[in-house]
Structure 1
Amino acid sequence: MSTQYSDCIAWTQEEHQNFGVKPQISQHKFHELDLFSDEALVTLLDNYPREWLQCYTMGTNPENHNEWTPVHIAESSGRQILSALQKGRMWVNVINIDRYNGEYAELIEQMYQVINAGSDHITNAKSSFSALLISSPGIQVYCHVDADANMLWHLKGRKRVWVYPARDTRFAPQTYVEEIIGESRHENVPFERWYDDHAFSHELKAGEVVSWPQHSPHRVENIGFNVSLTTSYGSKESRRQLGVHGFNHYILKPLGFKNRSIERVGLVAEVKSFTYFVLKKLKVLKRGERTASYTTDLQLDDSHPEGMSKRDEASLPEFAKA
């Protein structure tokens, strides 16, 4: 008999109604599971495919996302990774967790069963991407916009999250969102400190999940060592929103349309979304080429006071070769 992970979520009717409509904090009990104990994480990291194990370091200025730098991690054991993260300034992204491990996959499947059952405004939400985020005290995740709808389930430590109004061009111009969906721009978007005056902000504790409307810019700063689970999903509604922006990017923008509607409901939105996904399935649309250098001379090193050291030569880490 499979574990009843769905018992870890008991949201109110109001929380279900607000899910994905406005930023909110809800409760869960995933952090109490053995799946997220230190020993379970060590075992998971020891055996995890190195092309799915990403590591980055970053600067201290949230306005300068260009200081985001890859770190070699492939040679490190699970225990070395956790030890280095405790003392360093790094962020490890254990991607595709639901594709690798059946227990995590079952947890995430049941998670969406609960969301679908209680949220009448969401149709057939299914996992599109999930990852464990294991990160050092004091690190930050720069302001960015994810293409898919997503949320952050907090498991260990404390971190502060800022969520900015979705589809507000002061924080993420429409063309940026379109380019992110068209994969010609990375998720990071420019940030200025005055944005925080307009943010939904909260200090996350273990046992809390933060959710927000699709395409809300957001950023994170750790207070201590942290473990979180990030989950992205596709639903009828979120796919329509993707399709509208995708149609704008690939069809209307090249034709010179300046005022491209981002209306997500109605016949026009349905036609735009349907057309986009048909063209995408037919492979008519050319994916953009994001420009970024993953070459690095940094490596995770738990024997170093900063948790990482320099190599003699710069090269691509394993996760950048996939």
Structure 2
Amino acid sequence: MSIIKDWTPEKGRAFTRENLAFEHGLHERPMFDDAGLEQLLDTYPREKLGVFTMGEDPKAWTTWRRGRADNLSGGQLLEAAKSGRIWLNLRHTNEYLEPYRQLEAEIFAEKHAHAPGLKTFKRDLGMLISSANAQVFYHLDVSLVTLWQLRGQKQVWVYPVEEPYVGEQDLERIVLRETAEQFAFDPAWDAGAESHILTPGKMVTWKQNAPHRIENGPMLNVSLSIEFMTPQALMRANVIYANGLMRRRLGAQPKLVDGFTPGNIGKLAVARGAKALNLQKPNERVLPPSFRLDAGRPGLLLPA
């Protein structure tokens, strides 16, 4: 039985190339009920767990703060998400837990069956467990993304991959890891965005590097976020990387063009050579924990 209920030949051909919305059945699986989530939080490597909180103004992306969960049980963490204002990010769940590795294999087998010629790698299947009214600020991802809603409701705005929403030099700074994936947002840009209301059984995917932001409804939200690469997506990422190097080291003014052109193949070689020689030093600033969750009062954030 298919996970996605509304594959069409048109959607299969457009997958990874266009913004698309789908219907799915993953929310019906018991692994995403409270007991399943508590088990997930108990068995996922605690040192890998991302715990975050944030302000309420969608422009105030610098209020995004990292925290600690210490030795809270899975049940306590789930209660903290239900009663507080936090965002739990479980990256690469498929690498650590066998049921999620099997789920990743199942999802991608279906994608490959319906999208002609699709080849995928660097797959990151992550779980997101987040509080009522929590948000993720305006940002973009280097890889391709599919976002599956399992519980609760959220609104997702997806913006065009062009000025003024994101410029080529913005992309270069992010791919070169000179800056974080979050950056300044103008609420006026909502007029040019696609807006999706995600309820259980809805999934959206968007063009590579499309800026987006998310606001939860007034209830616990559980989502599945899958990042992945294709040969075309990896080429684009390497071309952006090479363009950034050429701009910084040669004073060039390169333009971003998609596809396996001779020029892009040359830029791919430049990017791979620069990475091998470690010519571009990434900004490795890690957001230090500024709060911790309290076991006795799950919704309370204490100083770290």
TM-score > 0.5, shorter chain as reference: yes
Which ranges in structure 1 are unaligned for 5 or more consecutive residues? 1-5, 315-322
2:274, 2:280 within 8 Å by CA — same for their partners in 1? no
Q: Which runs of 4+ in 1 moved over 6 A?
A: none
Other-structure match for 2:64: 68
Structure 1 residue 310 corresponds to structure 2 residue 302: yes
Structure 1 residue 137 corresponds to structure 2 residue 137: no
DSSP 3-state at the match of 2:227: strand
Structure 1 residue 254 corresponds to structure 2 residue 252: no
Give the distance between the partners of 1:303 and 1:79, measured in 2 at CA: 12
DSSP 3-state at the match of 2:250: coil
Give the distance between the partners of 2:279 and 2:230, measured in 1 at CA: 22
1:165-191 C-alpha deviation (Å, 9 max, x unpaired): 02x021112112111111111100210
Structure 1 residue 179 corresponds to structure 2 residue 173: yes
Q: Which of 135, 141, 144 is the aligned partner of 1:146? A: 141
Other-structure match for 1:218: 212
Structure 1 residue 42 corresponds to structure 2 residue 38: yes
Distance 1:182 1:46, change over 3 A: same
Other-structure match for 1:273: 268
Other-structure match for 2:257: 263
DSSP 3-state at the match of 1:71: strand
1:158, 1:204 within 8 Å by CA — same for their partners in 2? yes
Give the distance between the partners of 1:185 and 1:129, measured in 2 at CA: 21
Structure 1 residue 284 corresponds to structure 2 residue 288: no
Worse overlay, 104-113 or 153-162 = 104-113
Give the distance between the partners of 1:213 and 1:283, measured in 2 at CA: 31
Distance 1:161 1:302, change over 3 A: farther
Identity of aligned residues (%): 29
Give the distance between the partners of 2:289 and 2:87, measured in 1 at CA: 17
1:162, 1:199 within 8 Å by CA — same for their partners in 2? yes
2:172, 2:243 within 8 Å by CA — same for their partners in 1? yes
The aligned length equals: 301
Q: Which of 27, 33, 40 is the aligned partner of 2:29? A: 33
Worse overlay, 89-98 or 174-183 = 174-183
Structure 1 residue 112 corresponds to structure 2 residue 75: no
How big is the shift at 1:286? 2.8
Distance 1:269 1:198, change over 3 A: same
Other-structure match for 1:59: 55
TM-score (norm 2): 0.93
Q: Which amino acid aligns with 2:131?
A: S
How big is the shift at 1:303? 4.0
Q: Which of 152, 160, 163 is the aligned partner of 1:157? A: 152
DSSP 3-state at the match of 1:151: strand
How big is the shift at 1:47? 2.2
How big is the shift at 1:68? 0.5
Distance 1:283 1:208, change over 3 A: farther
Distance 1:243 1:149, change over 3 A: same
1:109, 1:127 within 8 Å by CA — same for their partners in 2? no
1:156, 1:225 within 8 Å by CA — same for their partners in 2? yes
Give the distance between the partners of 1:110 and 1:272, measured in 2 at CA: 35
How big is the shift at 1:278? 4.2
1:238-284 C-alpha deviation (Å, 9 max, x unpaired): 001111101111234321113x211012221222124313442x243
Give the distance between the partners of 1:86 and 1:239, measured in 2 at CA: 37
